[in-house]
A and B are shown apart, each in its own frame.
Chain A
Amino acid sequence: MLKNKRWTFIIGLLAGMGMAVVAVVTLPRLQPHTFYGTVLQSPDKAPDFELDTASGTVSLEDFRGKIVLLYFGYTFCPDICPATLAEISKAITSLGKKADEIQLMMISVDPGRDTPEMLRDYVTHFHPSFLGATGTEEEIAQVATMYGIFFEKHEGTEATGYLVDHTATVMVIDQEGHLKLVFPFGAPAQEIADDLAFLLK
């Protein structure tokens, strides 16, 4: 009698442990991915544009099949832009081989001072795959407006010359060309990497 009880207990314990293991393994897979970035559900394609890079003219369509990260910044920016580009670099580097399927493009909000070559030298410091693009003042204004990016020059000091205020979000355009996510300024590399990894699945 006592022996039976002991066996029941052991079998029960084993069954319980088995169920716990199954739960631990499957539950995270059943849970939907919670995006860190703000999710946009636009049925329209992200607006296309053509801009100049050090290696020629590029359009957004050239990168169909890749995830495109769009960021607006300028090379004179010593704090906000490097912080953002460094986090994105860290995020995509952590994805290993999959980093090849992601293209970051920084569009200059300072076309008056930034040349395509300067932009290339600036962005590749953070990651060799990064692209820097610019155009005429009108072209930049048009692209910024299409993506809801605000930018405005304001007077600096004698040493700095003018400075440019700019929306510092990072926009994520998926492989089919839809605007999918927006990361706020200060989004940490790990969160960016998690979202990108999910989109690459």
Chain B
Amino acid sequence: MKTIVVIPRCRNFGIIALSIFALFSIALGACQPSPKGPAISIEEAWGRPSPKVAAAGAFYMLIKNTGSEADKLVSAESPACGAVELHESYKTEEGAMGMRPVEGGYIEILPGGQAELKMGGLHIMCIEKLADFEVGAVLPLTLNFEKSGEIIIEIEIREP
């Protein structure tokens, strides 16, 4: 028995693909503004569902800075919260878990860097919840950056 393998003629295809890719890269490079200053974007913003009786909730997200300068998240506010603070969970000297406002009162995002707000680490704490933190709820949150100013995002309440 002889198996017949059909090989598509793709010698030229490779070259064409490479050329397109090269052209694309050049075009992208030319179009990309080289921003002076920070360029902040927020991804995967979510909040944990929490029982009504819990006075506080936590928001998590990924803050990216694709700009050429560092920026600092200095505060946040939301109509869903009586107060909003930037917090971090940390391990104490005794090996216990503690929570405190972030050092210096800000979260810095270096150029080309990111700040990951996640469970057991940095988080935005919503104190005195004024809305239901039920799965499916969408809560507005205003982030105040030192240089980029106000960025308004939506927090989706969902299971992690």
List residues of chain A with CB under 8 Å of any chain B CB: 75-80, 82-83, 86, 118, 121-122, 124-125, 150-152, 154, 156-157, 159-160, 163, 165-168, 185-186
Contacts and interface: CB of A to CB of B under 8 A. Distances in A.
A86 B51 CA distance: 12
B40 interface: no
A77 to B, nearest CB: 7
Contact of A76 (B54, B92, B97, B101): B54
Given A150-B95, A157-B101, A163-B100, A78 B119 contact: no
Contact of A122 (B48, B53, B125): B53
A79 B54 CA distance: 11
B62 to A, nearest CB: 16
Given A76-B56, A78-B48, A80-B97, 14 more contacts: A75-B54, A77-B56, A77-B99, A86-B159, A124-B51, A125-B49, A150-B92, A150-B94, A150-B95, A154-B100, A156-B100, A156-B101, A159-B82, A166-B98
A60 B116 CA distance: 40
Nearest to B127: A159
Interface residues of B, number: 34
A156 to B, nearest CB: 8
Given A78-B57, A80-B99, A163-B100, A125 B123 contact: no
Contacts of B51: 75, 121-122, 124-125
Contacts of B56: 76-78, 160
A132 B109 CA distance: 39
A59 B1 CA distance: 77
Interface in B72-131: 82-83, 85, 87, 89, 92, 94-101, 119-120, 123, 125-128
A76 B120 contact: no
B30 to A, nearest CB: 45
Given A83-B120, A160-B125, A78 B50 contact: yes
Contact of A125 (B50, B82, B87): B50
B48 A82 contact: yes
Given A78-B126, A157-B85, A159-B85, A83 B119 contact: yes
Nearest to A83: B119
B89 A167 contact: no
B60 to A, nearest CB: 9
B3 to A, nearest CB: 23
B121 to A, nearest CB: 8
A154 B96 contact: no
A79 B127 CA distance: 12
B127 A167 contact: no
B33 interface: no
Nearest to B97: A168
B94 A79 contact: no
A78 B98 contact: no
Nearest to B160: A86
Contact of A154 (B50, B98, B123, B159): B98
B53 to A, nearest CB: 4
